[in-house]
Chains A and B, each alone.
Chain A
Amino acid sequence: MIPELGHFALALAVAIGFAQAILPIWGAWRREQRLIAAAPAIAIGQFIALGTAWVCLTWSNVVDDFSVLTVAENGNSLTPLIYKITGTWGNHEGSILLWCLVISICGAAVAVFGGNLPSSLRARVIGVLGATAVGFQLFALLESDPFTRLWPPPEDGRDLNPLLQDPGLAIHPPMLYIGYVGFAVPFAFAIAALLEGRIDAAWGRWVRPWTLAAWCFLTCGIALGSWWAYYELGWGGFWFWDPVENASLMPWLTGTALLHSAIVVEKREALKTWTVLLAIGTFSLSLSGTFLVRSGILNSVHAFANDPARGLFILGLLGLVIGGSLLLFAARAPVLSTSGIFAPVSREGGLVLNNILLCSICAVVITGTMYPLFADLLLGEKLSVGPPFFNSTVFPLALPLFAAMAVGPMLSWKRANLGDAARRLWWVALAAVIVGCVAAYWARLLPTLAFAAAAWLILGATADIVERIKLFRQPLSASLQRLRGLPRGSFGTTLAHAGLGVTIAGIAGMSLASSAIVLLKPGETTHLDGYDWHLVDLHDAAGPNYSARVATIEISEGGVPVVTLAPERRSFPVQQVNTTEAKIHTNLVRDLYAVLGEERDGAAVLRLHVNPLAPWIWLGALVMALGGMISLADRRLRVGAPARRGAVLPAGTEPGLR
């Protein structure tokens, strides 16, 4: 009964989706006030229908209704409750439904929080969101129905892929999807603006918070995915340039560019056409990411149904959404007028440079990911593009980006003086050079440069705040007063830029990691990087739906005990899969990382790593997302507030210098 209810709710959502796609846009075009006014209600109705379908699917998973095909294939009566819930999106059908749910949440959010948008713009945005969503809802209903029944139902389900039975991966897909799909909102704003033929500063101000929110989630999602690869796959790496990872990195790069170019639209009414194209491009890359993963064209570690027929359906949808919006762009973009002009050396110029570099990196990643496919199709050549390509092409582009990141916020709008920025940043540059020299003692060239870049970014971001509150140049109390008066957006920028520095430092630190593969009997000890690793015992343990072999390793440093790690090898009988549970001890400066391998003659193979600064990689991403969220809380982004900006800042601060 419950699955049928869910199925009905999904069908209802498709019907509402068609209404949402047609009525508001038609109404905005014909200036039918009643249709325009109906848009928010339709969007909320859409959300309620999909929410119901989602709850029904989750319920079927939780109560182990094995008469539902997806539950029988991905659930098991012994699976812990948390993984029954997260298993809802741990498969193709469920994840597509999650995708639809998230886009309906976006529509409902625009309906609820968009109260001060012009009503025709809001109607168009909601309509475009509906038009984008309805195709995928139809796909969920027709091609990958999560509520398909199975008769007779099996005794028990086939269990969720054990690799996915992990807290990190449990919340990774929703984060990533909110990020991917969240870019549908700036996309919808871009299309609505093309339909209206008008973009102004207010448009930029509305687009920014939505982009920022999606960006925060995508940042967290990517970081979680990489963290999961680090501790669950047990290979000791954190980024493999796997096509699926690249698929999430590409919209992040263009989304970051969009985030910055929208500032120029908001402040200076320039770069309008480019910003619209970026909004379309970012969402298109998000969609393509979904498509590429599922079509079976690119293979990866991620478990998804590979079905060319489904791939064709999705490709058709993508063609409609991306092709249609780019055609509209070609037809309507000439209408958008640009008013703001600026000198090459200016805040705008810095942001343009940021956009050029980010998009170049994205282009490189696209090339690396797609080239093997097209080389095969067009030239019949087999080749693979691996980490060496990405490492040697992305870094040269990233270095100038890092260099510019500290300088950009120091420049003033319209026309700036590089000499001013140099006077404010000389001590940062000096510190970066010193850090580089110190690092050069241990590290090779690239990590050395990366350490210097990290110092430059972190201190450069700090220098920006120091400069604004005139620290050391006036009494401390006055500086504190200025600090309180700074808009939250400034802190957001500082944190996000510094966060990237922290991540870079982590990545550079990982290059200094040391590891060893040793064969130890219980009672034996080995040495690695100043630590003594003592294997105490090997024993069996039982989990709810798996059995495990556990090694107890006592780690001490110079006779002082540090920690006891218990890495496991788990065997999941239902799926006949073995997983390694690496155990990690971190003190935020280095990770001690242990993996249990095979056993022979009473001895166990252990893989041990000491990874300096590794936790910083994900910590930095968290700081970046935190910066985004603080920026989101800036009252200038709470639409309607900008007029009162003068009242917030104490007299004497430069409101133009954000």
Chain B
Amino acid sequence: MNRRVLLLAPFGAVVLAGAGFMTMLHRAQDGKFDPHGVPSMLIDKHVPPFTLPGDPGFADSDLAGRPILVNFFASWCVPCIEEASALMSLKQAGVPLYGIAYKDKPAATAAFLAEHGNPFARLGHDAPGRVAIDWGVTGVPESYLIDKAGIVRARWIGALTPETIATELQPLLRQFA
């Protein structure tokens, strides 16, 4: 009897896994399941208070007066390399970009920006990752749109692409300009 149960175990495991995948796919089709993202708790809220060292670095009080895109990145992050060219084109389009280097050594960050271009008007170093926790950052790269009043309006997980910039970011920039 025990042997029977043992021989059925692989089947049981596969049924459970299959049911799990089925649920994931169903929810993904309805847009309710996205393994790559979580809804940000910050949307329509003020950015949490912070002060970041850097050259010159910045604080939450600096995120005001005009819509600003805040980008969390790291030199060790591969999608950040992909994203670099999109960010450079945003800079050329005149969009103010503030960068936060997440869990990175300042020297490595500098080398990364030297190789792939530095799109950031201001750069803050979040070496302990404390600010990222307050923001609820799920990983790098991650970008937040902050409006004139310092309120978070949108968040993008993963690399920004020319497509998302054209279809999502630009309309929001116009809306909050």
Residues in A lying within 8 Å of B, measured CB to CB? 235, 240, 273, 277, 280-281, 284, 295-299, 301, 308-309, 311-312, 315, 318-319, 322-323, 326-327, 329-330, 333-334, 370, 372-374, 376-378, 382, 384, 517, 519, 578, 597-598, 605, 607
Which residues of B come within 8 Å of A, CB atoms? 3-4, 7-8, 10-11, 14-15, 17-18, 20-26, 28-29, 33, 35-38, 78, 81, 85, 111, 114-117, 138-139
B78's contact among A240, A322, A329, A377, by CB below 8 Å, is which? A240
* Contact partners of B36 in chain A: CB under 8 A: 299
Closest to A331 in B: B7
Q: Is the CB of B35 within 8 A of A311?
A: no
B23 & A598 in contact (Cβ 8 Å cutoff): no
A519–B111 Cα distance when bound, in Å, is 10
| Chain B residues with CB below 8 A from A372, complex form | 35
Subset of 21 A-B contacts with CB under 8 Å: A235-B78, A284-B14, A295-B21, A296-B28, A297-B24, A308-B25, A308-B28, A312-B22, A312-B29, A319-B18, A326-B10, A327-B11, A329-B10, A330-B10, A330-B11, A377-B33, A378-B20, A517-B114, A517-B115, A605-B115, A607-B115
> Nearest chain B CB to A242's CB is how many angstroms away?
9
Partner of A308, one of B3, B29, B81: B29
Known contacts A382-B138, A517-B115, A597-B115, A373 near B10 by CB under 8 Å: no
Check A605/B7 contact, CB under 8 A, given A315-B25, A323-B15. Answer: no
Chain B residues whose CB sits within 8 angstroms of the CB of A295 once the complex forms: 21, 25
If A240-B78, A373-B35, A377-B20 touch, whether A605 touches B11 (CB-CB below 8 Å) is no
CB of A272, distance to nearest CB on chain B (Å): 13
Residues of B within 8 A of A519 (CB): 114
Q: How far is the CA of A113 from the CA of B29 in the complex (A)?
A: 45
**Cα distance, A338 to B29, chains bound together (Å):** 48
Q: Select from chain B the residue with minimum beta-carbon distance to A576.
A: B162
Given A240-B78, A517-B114, A605-B114, does the pair A315, B18 have CB atoms closer than 8 Å?
yes
Q: Which of B11, B38, B116 contacts A323 (CB 8 A)?
A: B11
Q: Give 5 A-B pairs besides A235-B78, A376-B33 with Cβ atoms closer than 8 angstroms.
A: A297-B28, A308-B29, A326-B11, A330-B7, A384-B139
CA gap between A298 and B28 in the complex, in Å: 12
Q: Select B4's contact among A323, A334, A370, A578, beta carbons within 8 Å.
A: A334
Q: How far, in angstroms, from A301 to B159 measured CA to CA in the complex?
A: 12
With a CB–CB cut-off of 8 A, which chain B residues contact A373?
A: 20, 24, 35
* A312: B residues at CB distance < 8 A: 22, 25-26, 29
CA A373 to CA B138, docked complex, whole Å: 14
In Å, the complex CA distance between A308 and B116 comes to 34
When C-beta atoms are compared, the residue in chain B nearest to A580 turns out to be: B81
Most buried by A among B14, B15, B78, B116: B14
Q: Which residues of A contact B22 (CB under 8 A)?
A: 312, 315
Q: Top 4 nearest A-B pairs by Cβ distance?
A: A326-B11, A597-B115, A330-B8, A517-B111
Chain B nearest CB from A161 CB (Å) reads 13
Q: How far is the CA of A240 from the CA of B21 in the complex (A)?
A: 24
How many Å lie between the Cα of A318 and that of B10 in the bound state? 14
Q: How far is the CA of A281 from the CA of B9 in the complex (A)?
A: 13
Give which listed residue, B3, B14, B38, contacts A326 with CB less than 8 A: B14
Contact B116 A334 (CB under 8 A): no
Task: Please name all residues of chain B whose beta carbon is closer than 8 Å to the beta carbon of A578 when the two chains form the complex.
Answer: 85
In whole angstroms, how far apart are the Cα atoms of A64 and B11 in the complex?
Answer: 47
**Docked-complex contact B117 and A315, CB < 8 angstroms:** no
Q: In the bound complex, what is the Cα–Cα distance between A93 and B28 (angstroms)?
A: 22
- Tell whether, in the assembled complex, residue A322 and residue B14 are in contact, meaning their CB atoms are under 8 Å apart: yes
Inside 8 A of B28's CB, which chain A residues have their CB? 296-297, 308, 311
